[in-house]
Structure 1
Amino acid sequence: MADTDRKDLVAAARALDAAGHMPQKSGNLSLRTARGFVITPSGLPYAAMTEADLVECAADGAPLSNGRPSSEWRLHAAIFSARADAQAVVHTHSPRATALACARRGIPPLHYMITLAGAVGRAGIPCARHATFGTEALAQECVAALGEGLRATLLANHGVVALGASLAGAVALAREVENLAGQYLDLLAAGLKPVLLSKAELADAAAQLKGYGRPA
């Protein structure tokens, strides 16, 4: 794994932490490697984390370097195993998306930007069924919610998972999920019922967005 990739992973974790998307050492990020994946460590504040603290794991999650991987290593391993298109995985506890997840409620197709998650025809971004954090059960519920083409899901009573063909793409998508969750909560707080986009409207939006600032 290139040194620049490690630097980018640390920088992304720090940026999401500074934005309030990974409070109290929560959340984790990973990048696929030839031998498996590299993931952020367990229990270390992101502001203090360096490239040397990242933990390389085999495809099955077995550590290949010193340090203790994030407690959610099973989640990352399962996504990389199930989704060949995933080169990076970002898991956050961003506040507004997590609030929806705590209601076990997904995000409906209320705005065309939801197509960045690959949600065309999938009725928005779902909320995966609940399972205890750090378990294989949670990993499998996440994989099931993502299916074959979706790139983001909420985790019941937990947070957000986004994947991408690049780290930048996965980070951008995780940020967009938080933005969409905020829009949905604002509508609910105002007592307004969102007018949802149809499958045809979503397909048109996805086609229009293709190649235009689209997270990979």
Structure 2
Amino acid sequence: MSGYADERTARALIVRTARSLFTRGLTHGSTGNLSLRLADGSLLLTPTGSSLGGVTEEELSRTDLNGRHLDGPAPTKETFLHAAFYRARPDAHAVVHLHSTHAAAVSCLDGLDPANALPPLTAYYAMRVGTLPLLPYHAPGDVALEPLAERTARTHHAVLLANHGPVVAGATLEKAADAVEELEETAKLHLLLRGHATRPLTPEQAAALAPAPS
């Protein structure tokens, strides 16, 4: 297990990615949070109550792999989700959690398949996301979700939180951000196509493109 070796570079990358997600409307207000795993095993996260559009490098928080605060401002109240993904996935060095509009909208729909909330409408979704488990509703910051999130993350690098939004892990922050954007675009397509007959990828086509297990 390794991570980002240069903390200064890691801080700049988090802030740059946060600005990009915010300015392109993938998060709003003070919603959403990002993290990176550093080479020493600690986690660098956006702080609680911060906007991804305005957070600075100096405002980032650092915790251990169990979410215990080490230094900096208080971390996001959803630190436990990030920590759960890192413990479950030794290959993960970044986690992105957003309240992106279309993915959040899908998370509010009735009748979703809890094993896979979105169909594989495009090849890029199958490649970057694969299957998307729906985790049952918990209030933001409710640590009762932590054990379920950790168990699910062992076999899936992306999940959708009911009535909330997506959480995606990646080997790098760039890969995690790409995957969560692909998830958002597929959620948008899914909503646009509701009421129309669709032709998702077949199980065989999706399986051929699925992300490799860690």
Name the TM tier (shorter chain). Answer: 0.7 to 0.9
TM-score, scaled relative to structure 1: 0.86
The answer to whether structure 1 residue 196 and structure 2 residue 203 are counterparts is no
Unaligned runs of 5+ in 1: 211-216
Per-residue deviation, residues 143-179 of structure 1 (Å, max 9, x unmatched): 344442x221211000011110001000111111000
**CA 1:202–1:91: 2 relative to 1, 3 Å:** same
* Aligned partners of 1:128 and 1:153 also within 8 Å: yes
Q: Residue 62 of structure 1 aligns with which residue? A: 68
Structure 2 SS opposite 1:116: helix
Alignment partners' CA distance in 2, 1:154 and 1:65: 29
Unaligned runs of 5+ in 2: 1-5
* Aligned partners of 1:131 and 1:141 also within 8 Å: no
Counterpart amino acid of 2:30?
K
Q: Residue 125 of structure 2 aligns with which residue? A: 114
TM-score, scaled relative to structure 2: 0.86
* Aligned partners of 2:121 and 2:200 also within 8 Å: yes
Counterpart amino acid of 2:145?
L
* Aligned partners of 1:117 and 1:151 also within 8 Å: no
Alignment partners' CA distance in 1, 2:10 and 2:184: 25
Q: Percent identity?
A: 34
Using the TM superposition, give the Cα deviation of residue 2 of structure 1 relative to its aligned residue in structure 2, in angstroms.
2.5
Counterpart amino acid of 1:57?
T
* Aligned partners of 2:88 and 2:153 also within 8 Å: no
Q: Aligned residues, how many?
A: 201
Q: Residue 193 of structure 2 aligns with which residue? A: 187
Using the TM superposition, give the Cα deviation of residue 12 of structure 1 relative to its aligned residue in structure 2, in angstroms.
0.7
* Residue number among 50, 61, 73 corresponding to 2:56 in the alignment: 50
The answer to whether structure 1 residue 23 and structure 2 residue 28 are counterparts is yes
Per-residue deviation, residues 39-66 of structure 1 (Å, max 9, x unmatched): 0001122333211100010111111112
Alignment partners' CA distance in 2, 1:151 and 1:32: 15
